[in-house]
Amino acid sequence: MTSSIRPVGPGVALVTGACSGIGRALAEGLAERGHDLVLVSQREGPIGEAAREIAAAHGVRAHAITLDLARPEAAGELYAEVLRRGIEIDVLVNNAGVFFFGEVADADPDRANAMLQLHVVTPSLLCTLFTRGMRARRRGRVLIVSSLSAWRDIPGIAYYGSSKKYLRGFARALRSELSVYGVTVTCLAPGATATALYDPSVVPVDLGKRLGVMMAPRDVARAGLEALFAGEAEHLPGGLTRAMALGAVLVPERVIGLLRRHAPWLRPVGR
Ligand SMILES: NC(=O)c1ccc[n+]([C@@H]2O[C@H](COP(=O)([O-])OP(=O)(O)OC[C@H]3O[C@@H](n4cnc5c(N)ncnc54)[C@H](OP(=O)(O)O)[C@@H]3O)[C@@H](O)[C@H]2O)c1
């Protein structure tokens, strides 16, 4: 399908990982604000359904693109596909992500490689490719979804947390580069959120939500979009997330050592 979306009104937003969780809620929030959408994820059925439902509910145009963003060529392919459809992107949301627990020495190398491609390489290159046009037009916004886990290095989530730390630093540097052109960059760092990111047999998501220790994705997205359109540099959504970020920075290293010894997601010491 070839179609052309011109930059009228608030412009077009591209959201990666838009078929579920925080990404879907971000896409809905952007549509509520009148943005046409390009929605990307790797499963054709769910992303097509998300695009149809959001377009019908909010009266915007929504393109669905199916792509595995964990492949090295993904950013270039997505950029080429967006150009081919004649779409100009005004808001870039790098949200797609995956999660796994475990010791670095136990990680499946293919799974670890895919996470690094998805969290580090692809979002960085999407910023390179899409912010060129924003810089030339002197307008645009970028939202990068990092995580509370970027605030402290935690055993058992070394790949995840370190890749999110990269995104936090990348967002800051990119923000400084682009601010002189009128393009804003915002880093959203959610804490625990009740989504399909976690294996429910390991993380009791429903219980977490009921106890109020996991946020609803729409609340995270609402806070993220407010921060994005206010041009904030970094946003931790929710009081508990902000308290945990402070705790993460202040907690002594010996507590991290205790965590390593007793965390249920790590091998018992000595085995
Ligand atoms: N949930 C939390 O507690 C939490 C906390 C902090 C940060 N975050 C971050 O928030 C972001 C969204 O996660 P979520 O919690 O909303 O989880 P989610 O519901 O599982 O959503 C993840 C999204 O990423 C997409 N995705 C995963 N692998 C992909 C790939 N290889 N190619 C293309 N798309 C891919 C998924 O699409 P498919 O289903 O098609 O694969 C899905 O749309 C992630 O970056 C995550 O790290 C989440």
- 124-158 residue pLDDT tens: 999 999 999 999 999 999 999 999 999 999 999 99
Q: Which among 98, 187, 202, 225 is the best mutation to test ligand 1's pocket, defined by most ligand atoms within 8 Å of the CB?
A: 98
Cα of 136 to ligand 1 centre, how many Å?
Answer: 30
- Using 50, 70 and 90 to split pLDDT, how confident is the model at 4? very low
- Region 62-82: mean pLDDT is 98
What pTM does this model have?
A: 0.95
- Region 210-231: mean pLDDT is 96
Q: Which among 195, 218, 242 is the best mutation to test ligand 1's pocket, defined by most ligand atoms within 8 Å of the CB?
A: 195
Between 207 and 140, name the one with better pLDDT.
Answer: 140
Strands ordered across the beta sheet of 36-41: 62-66, 36-41, 12-16, 89-94, 140-145, 183-188, 234-235
Q: What does the pLDDT read at residue 9?
A: 67
Beta partners for residue 143, in sequence order: 93, 186
For ligand 1, which residues put their CB under 6 angstroms from it?
17-23, 41-43, 46, 68-70, 95-98, 118, 145, 147, 190, 192-193, 195-197, 217
- Region 94-106: mean pLDDT is 96
Query: Thinking of the domain 12-262, which architecture would CATH place it in?
Result: 3-Layer(aba) Sandwich (3.40)
Q: What does the pLDDT read at residue 95?
A: 98
Nearest ligand 1 atom, CA 160:
47
Query: Which burial class, exposed, middle or buried, applies to 107 when counting CB atoms under 10 A from its CB (0-12, 13-18, 19+)?
Result: middle
Give residue limits of the domains in the chain: 12-262
Element holding 75 (H helix, E strand): helix 74-84
